[in-house]
Amino acid sequence: MSKILVFGKNGQVGWELQRSLGLVGDVVFLGRNDQDGDLSDINALTARIKAEKPEIIFNAAAYTAVDAAESHQKSAYLVNAEAVSAMAMAAKELGALLVHFSTDYVFNGEGQKPWTESDRIAPINFYGLSKAAGEKAILESGCKAYIFRTSWVYGVHGKNFMKTMIRLGKSREELGIVSDQIGAPTSAEFIADVSTWLALHHKIERPEIVNLVPSGETSWYEFACDIFANMEDHGLMVKKVKALSSAEYPTPARRPLNSRLDNSKLISMMPPNSIKDWRHYSKRVLNEILAL
Ligand SMILES: NC(=O)c1ccc[n+]([C@@H]2O[C@H](COP(=O)([O-])OP(=O)(O)OC[C@H]3O[C@@H](n4cnc5c(N)ncnc54)[C@H](OP(=O)(O)O)[C@@H]3O)[C@@H](O)[C@H]2O)c1
């Protein structure tokens, strides 16, 4: 049984890691309010890692408020870059594997081609910049690490697009949803299962970036339509949806239009047929949310 230390236990992915890692090792789960669980206290974080001496560290904690990051840059950078750098250095010293999560927002969103792990990054908002700095710190540390780039995370636990659509779909007359940003909705359960499996079964000796997304692509608009179609299957009446361009829906932080992540590397590392189309996971999570 591996000794595992998890940061960010209460986030969407952290919550699902409590399930996926629950039976596989001697696991310590820390949230922001637990002792040494706050990533902004880098000394405490480092001391805790060295005291626990884990074989695997999962970092599911992050400053994920994309728009707020524009005006709270110091806090976002501390959590997404400086704390990650400290984790990577501690992991290197202990010979531990660091499992870290990053984002499609490290790319500028140009073009239509899915981004591969080796494509040049060029973030267009501060959240993306801080996550890119976290990736760079891990790569430079040379520790054993998975940097899992994922996108459009949703799940049963926490705030996310799917839960917002379920709420608004029942209550608003008409909804406008952005249709020119293209990517793959990724369920937190899928992220937890795949990252756990790879951490335990696929040994690596250096930092590696892997795109962790299901197959297929869609827009936020089509994702909303899919959610509403599934809600109708449950006998729920939903309202009309209108497609908007990103220009018609301005936000403090710019979003990349092309968020497609090429998942061929992931598919080659996982057992055959284990990575399915995004709709497979979204239906499953929606059923679970509606059953609550
Ligand atoms: N959400 C997405 O759409 C998305 C897309 C691409 C990549 N990712 C990446 O995937 C990973 C997991 O994301 P997620 O969706 O699970 O995020 P999430 O639900 O927002 O969870 C992030 C967790 O980090 C915690 N956190 C924030 N600041 C902290 C601090 N100073 N110390 C300790 N914990 C802190 C949050 O705690 P509080 O609840 O107390 O704030 C929250 O529990 C992140 O690395 C994220 O960048 C997410």
pLDDT tens per residue, range 188-212: 999 999 999 999 998 899 999 999 9
Over residues 50-55, the mean pLDDT reads 97
Query: Ligand 1: which of 39, 46, 64 to mutate, judged by most atoms within 8 Å of the beta carbon?
Result: 64
Amino acid of residue 67: D
> What gap in Å lies between CA 17 and CA 250, rounded to an integer?
34
Residue position matching structure tokens 């922001």? 32
CA of 40 to the centre of ligand 1 (A): 13
Q: Give me the pLDDT at residue 20, please.
A: 96
Q: Is the CB of 99 under 6 A from ligand 1?
A: no
Q: Give me the pLDDT at residue 172, please.
A: 65
> What gap in Å lies between CA 157 and CA 206, rounded to an integer?
32
- Helix 188-201 × helix 12-20 angle, to 10°: 50
For the entire predicted model, the pTM comes to 0.96
Whether the pLDDT of residue 173 is over 80: the answer is no
CA of 158 to the centre of ligand 1 (A): 10
> What gap in Å lies between CA 284 and CA 185, rounded to an integer?
13
Q: Is the CB of 61 under 6 A from ligand 1?
A: yes
Q: Where are the alpha helices (DSSP H) in the chain?
A: 12-20, 42-52, 66-71, 73-77, 83-94, 126-141, 161-171, 188-201, 220-233, 264-269, 278-291
Work out which ligand 1 atom sits closest to the CA atom of 9.
43
Whether 60 contacts 8, CB under 8 Å: yes
Whether the pLDDT of residue 62 is over 90: the answer is yes
Whether the pLDDT of residue 1 is over 80: the answer is no
Minimum CA distance residue for ligand 1 atom 5 = 151
Task: Please report which confidence band the pLDDT of residue 91 belongs to, taking 50, 70 and 90 as the band edges.
Answer: very high
Task: Please report which confidence band the pLDDT of residue 160 belongs to, taking 50, 70 and 90 as the band edges.
Answer: very high
Q: Is the CB of 64 under 6 A from ligand 1?
A: yes
Q: Give me the pLDDT at residue 171, please.
A: 75
Tell me how far the alpha carbon of residue 88 is from its chain's centroid: 18
Over residues 263-289, the mean pLDDT reads 96
Whether 258 contacts 194, CB under 8 Å: no
Work out which ligand 1 atom sits closest to the CA atom of 155.
15
One CATH from 3.40.630.30, 3.40.50.720, 3.40.50.300, 3.30.1130.10 for 2-156+184-216+259-275: 3.40.50.720
Domain locations along the chain = 2-156+184-216+259-275
Minimum CA distance residue for ligand 1 atom 21 = 11
> What gap in Å lies between CA 65 and CA 72, rounded to an integer?
10
Q: Give me the pLDDT at residue 2, please.
A: 84
> Which of 127, 146, 221, 281 does the annotation list as catalytic?
127
Query: Ligand 1: which of 84, 105, 153 to mutate, judged by most atoms within 8 Å of the beta carbon?
Result: 153
- Helix 83-94 × helix 126-141 angle, to 10°: 20
109-113, 157-161, 233-237, 258-262: lowest mean pLDDT where? 233-237
Task: Please report which confidence band the pLDDT of residue 36 belongs to, taking 50, 70 and 90 as the band edges.
Answer: very high
Minimum CA distance residue for ligand 1 atom 8 = 103
Work out which ligand 1 atom sits closest to the CA atom of 61.
24
Task: Please report which confidence band the pLDDT of residue 103 belongs to, taking 50, 70 and 90 as the band edges.
Answer: very high
pLDDT tens-digit map of 229-253: 988 888 887 778 899 999 999 899 9
How many residues are there in the chain? 292
Q: Give me the pLDDT at residue 24, please.
A: 86
Over residues 102-129, the mean pLDDT reads 98
Work out which ligand 1 atom sits closest to the CA atom of 12.
16
Q: Give me the pLDDT at residue 163, please.
A: 96
Residue 249 is among the residues annotated as catalytic for this protein: no
Whether the pLDDT of residue 25 is over 90: the answer is no
Mean pLDDT, the chain, integer: 95
Q: Which two tokens stand for residue 63?
A: 């400053």
CA of 187 to the centre of ligand 1 (A): 14
